[in-house]
Amino acid sequence: MRAPVAAALIIGNEVLTAKVEEANGAHLIRRLREHGLPLCSVHVVPDDVDAIVEALALARRRARWVFTSGGIGPTHDDVTVRAVALALGRRVVVLPEMEALLTRAWGKKAPSSEAWRLAEAPEGSRLLHGAQSRFPVLACDDVYLLPGVPELFRAQLELCLAELPGAPVQVRELFLSVGEPEIAHALDAVALALPHVAIGSYPTWGDGAAYRVKLTVEHVDAAVVTAAVERLVRELPEGCVLRLG
Amino acid sequence: MRAPVAAALIIGNEVLTAKVEEANGAHLIRRLREHGLPLCSVHVVPDDVDAIVEALALARRRARWVFTSGGIGPTHDDVTVRAVALALGRRVVVLPEMEALLTRAWGKKAPSSEAWRLAEAPEGSRLLHGAQSRFPVLACDDVYLLPGVPELFRAQLELCLAELPGAPVQVRELFLSVGEPEIAHALDAVALALPHVAIGSYPTWGDGAAYRVKLTVEHVDAAVVTAAVERLVRELPEGCVLRLG
């Protein structure tokens, strides 16, 4: 349980109703890959407390760290703080540190009483500050609550990654001249013999393709990857490897 | 339970490890919106039976119809059929109709014994045939198993939509000159009074923006949308609506 991997929750009706093209998920996937922290799921859910609570509970059974994107704000559709608190079994409280930051930003008078909702957080939350980001990241029980606005999301994600472990993955590719049905037997055998190595098989589609299947071989240890590639080359149908990448 | 909405499962390590930019999720979101079938979640999970079973169980508690993308094929990392069968409490069987199609495509001899895995399906599955698509869609208990290859995914999705209900949504937009803290009170009141209307609030970021917040108002009935927009204009701070869209 709670493997040392990450999961992501993208929160927002606007994504599921095609009003915006979601970009934070793809950015997170790329950055976690570069950082070397495995990602086990990305779940897009609506601005709905029950849906967020259920999705977060599932994510936390699978992953030690969870990133949320969106639903952080003062309006009626911003329910992330409340839902995360509920999923973690914590009360929603006003963070004095956040209140002080907002007071400094607004001067004496807040734009409205609802504006103070921005200082609310699950009890026990901490704030991550960084030189790059105007706003601190809200974190609680290894859940990082990031805003949906892409510029803010990106800046805050870097603050999170700075405190998270990572081991970049080594990848080799094999481009094949035959289709998946022809290689399934050899792939089965190698995948079974090397369960610690991630082997992917990706067929192309259409007549103009330069190869029929691309295999990927991944592990954090380059020597393990090399050995697995050599074994694949031995066991695949003779002459089917067009090139290695 | 089982609301008349859809959910999607995008299956594939290659998506979560940034080896491909996932396109089927975004396409599905757009097409369901155009068709008028609400979508309640999009969940990207790895090629892992347990992860797919758990995600599908959650999706089916929330949604009547579920689309899966990817993991349909003859190699070791194609586990969607097995996982969907497990989640539905059904055995994996060979579909005679699919076997006949493959026999016709391959002639007398299959490329390998593993190639026949393409004829496997959860017991009780049906096939949807269409003029546009070379391959039929596999469907079982309102779960549609679509391939991850984008061209095939798109063609097969159209076959599914042809048998699903839809009521296109009416949307109006309000562009505002003030920020979310200033409008949170009025939005709370209108959202509470009109719980059947979906009202979204989307702030802009940066100094060059032409407006500070975009509100969206949605319902299948245009008259309901118009009434909600009028009510918002009445209750929002005076003069803050720059324009309607």
| Chain B nearest CA to A109, separation (Å) | 12
Nearest Cα residue to B84 out of B128, B142, B36, B31: B142
| Residue B132 pLDDT level (bands cut at 50, 70, 90) | low
Tens digits of per-residue pLDDT, A179-207?
998 999 999 999 999 999 999 999 888 77
Quote the pLDDT of residue B199: 93
Q: What is the mean pLDDT of chain B?
A: 92
| C-beta separation of B239 from B176 below 8 A | no
| Dist. CA B38–CA A78, nearest whole Å | 20
Contact yes or no for A218 and B45 at CB 8 A = no
**pLDDT reading at A42 higher than 90:** yes
Task: Note the pTM of the prediction, 2 decimals.
Answer: 0.90
Q: Please, what's the b/e burial string for B145-163 (b: 16 or more CB within 10 A of its CB; e: otherwise)?
A: bbbbbeebbbbbbebbbee
| Dist. CA A1–CA A63, nearest whole Å | 8
Quote the pLDDT of residue B174: 96
| C-beta separation of B67 from B144 below 8 A | yes
Both tokens of B105, joined, read 């495509």
Quote the pLDDT of residue A130: 84
Mean pLDDT of B134-156: 93
Mean pLDDT of B155-172: 93
**pLDDT reading at A176 higher than 80:** yes
Quote the pLDDT of residue B1: 56
Nearest Cα residue to A138 out of A154, A151, A123: A123
Mean pLDDT of B15-26: 90
Contact residues, A window 16-75, toward B, CB-based 8 Å cutoff: 16-22, 25-26, 29-30, 33, 38-47, 51, 54-55, 58, 62, 73-75
| Residue A1 pLDDT level (bands cut at 50, 70, 90) | low
Quote the pLDDT of residue A34: 93
Residues linked to residue B77 through DSSP beta bridges, in sequence order: none
Mean pLDDT of A145-154: 93
Contact yes or no for A206 and B152 at CB 8 A = no
Name the region of A142 (left: φ>0; alpha: ψ -120 to 50; beta: rest): left
| Residue A217 pLDDT level (bands cut at 50, 70, 90) | very high
Both tokens of A63, joined, read 């992953």
Nearest Cα residue to A150 out of B203, B26, B44, B39: B203
Mean pLDDT of B225-229: 96
Our separate counts of H helices and E strands in chain A read: 8, 12
Say if strands B241-244 and B170-176 run parallel, antiparallel, or are unpaired.
antiparallel
**pLDDT reading at B10 higher than 90:** yes
Tens digits of per-residue pLDDT, B57-93?
999 999 999 999 999 988 888 999 999 999 999 999 9
Does B226 contact A at CB distance below 8 Å? Answer: no
Distance of CA B167 to the CA centre of its chain: 15
For A93, what's the count of Cα atoms within 13 Å in the CB-facing half-sphere? 12
Both tokens of B230, joined, read 């009028």
| Residue B15 pLDDT level (bands cut at 50, 70, 90) | very high
Name the region of B11 (left: φ>0; alpha: ψ -120 to 50; beta: rest): beta
Smallest CA–CA distance from A195 into chain B, residue:
B76
**pLDDT reading at A108 higher than 80:** no
Say if strands A137-140 and B137-140 run parallel, antiparallel, or are unpaired.
unpaired
Tens digits of per-residue pLDDT, B99-120?
998 888 888 777 888 888 999 9
| Residue A21 pLDDT level (bands cut at 50, 70, 90) | confident
Query: How many C-beta neighbours within 10 Å does residue A233 have?
Result: 14
DSSP state of B220: S
Contact residues, B window 167-206, toward A, CB-based 8 Å cutoff: 169, 171, 179-185, 187-188, 191-192, 198-203, 205-206
